[in-house]
Amino acid sequence: MLPGGDRDPTPSSGLTYSRSMSWLRAWKVFYERRIAVPVDDDGLVLDVGSGDKPSWRADVLLDRYTGAEHAAQRSGRRRAAVRRPLFDADAADMPFADGVFAYAICSNVLEHVTDPAGVARELSRVAGAGYIEVPEAASAKIVDFPSHLWWCRLAEEPEGPTLVFTAKSAPYHDPEIAGYIERAGVRRELDAVLNSRFEHRVIRYHWTGTVRLRVEGELDPAFVERAMQEEGHRRTWETVLVQGLTFVLTAPARRRRGRPELLYDDLVKPELRRGTRQRLRKQIYRPGGQ
């Protein structure tokens, strides 16, 4: 009996409560990661490394790998689908003008790039605020993707929360443990356990003004070359479900806002401007003949 005469909850009611809390937690994380974008309707949003799952709120996309040969890296099966203006350019040397975006999203991208500090500087240059998501090092050391180049941590430093990227030297933290996971066939089960507490599996970094990012160590070019040949994140039924749910939940906001008319010359650096009133369309742009 509990104080006041109430009976202890039965095991089944306890399990139901636990599952309910798990679903509530998962919903909160999903909403914060996929739906909530803290910017007004008139603010322009950039999605860097948008792949095949761009943010619903993004007005402009940037991705360096748009061809079918890089489909696995984008979690897709074919060349990039172009549903919004997409710039094919290096994230460490973006073609955009200073401060042209109100917000920039860079989700699960920086662990793949060779110059995350350069990307951080460019994000700080072209946008006033944004969101970065990367895999957390401790979780990644249990189950990681061999295409990832960095162990990522969030450190509390005097100047503020700082992303710390430590160069990897091998695909996995411990090759013996990685070999066991593959032999035993438990990777999927481990992945599911880690995903059940997804808020601990990734670092969700919200920034304003400046992205604080520090790099430790140097990447081995041979390791980078091997990692680039590895298969990335495959599209799954969960991915399709998340995209469908996002589409439904954001429909009112998308209808209210519509798609803003954007001019090419208003977005790009002065040296890339064409001196025209060309509107951005749903196509791939390669500024400077890249």
234-288 per-position pLDDT tens digit: 556 677 788 888 989 999 999 999 888 999 999 999 999 999 999 999 999 999 7
**Choice between 96 and 72, residue whose per-residue pLDDT is larger:** 96
Average pLDDT, the chain: 87
pLDDT band at 104 (very low <50, low <70, confident <90, very high): very high
Q: How far apart are CA 95 and CA 110, in angstroms?
A: 18
197-211 per-position pLDDT tens digit: 889 999 999 999 999
Give the pLDDT mean for 45-50. Answer: 95
Which residues in 168-192 are b (16+ Cβ under 10 Å) and which e?
Answer: beebbbeeeebeebeeeeeeeeeee
Give the pLDDT of residue 77.
Answer: 56
Q: Is the pLDDT of residue 222 over 80?
A: yes
Give the pLDDT of residue 6.
Answer: 39
Give the pLDDT of residue 229.
Answer: 84
Strand order in the sheet with 284-285: 202-208, 129-135, 103-107, 45-48, 60-62, 86-87, 284-285
70-95 per-position pLDDT tens digit: 555 555 555 667 889 999 999 999 99
What's the maximum distance between 2 C-alpha atoms anywhere in the chain?
79
Alpha helices, DSSP H, located in the chain:
11-30, 116-126, 137-140, 175-184, 187-195, 198-201, 221-229, 237-257, 264-267
**Choice between 265 and 18, residue whose per-residue pLDDT is larger:** 265
Answer yes or no: are the C-beta atoms of 184 and 159 closer than 8 Å.
no
- Pick the closest to residue 113 from 87, 150, 141 (CA basis): 150
119-171 per-position pLDDT tens digit: 999 999 999 999 999 999 999 999 988 999 999 999 999 999 999 999 999 99
Q: Is the pLDDT of residue 182 over 90?
A: yes
Q: Is the pLDDT of residue 2 over 80?
A: no
Specify the pTM: 0.87
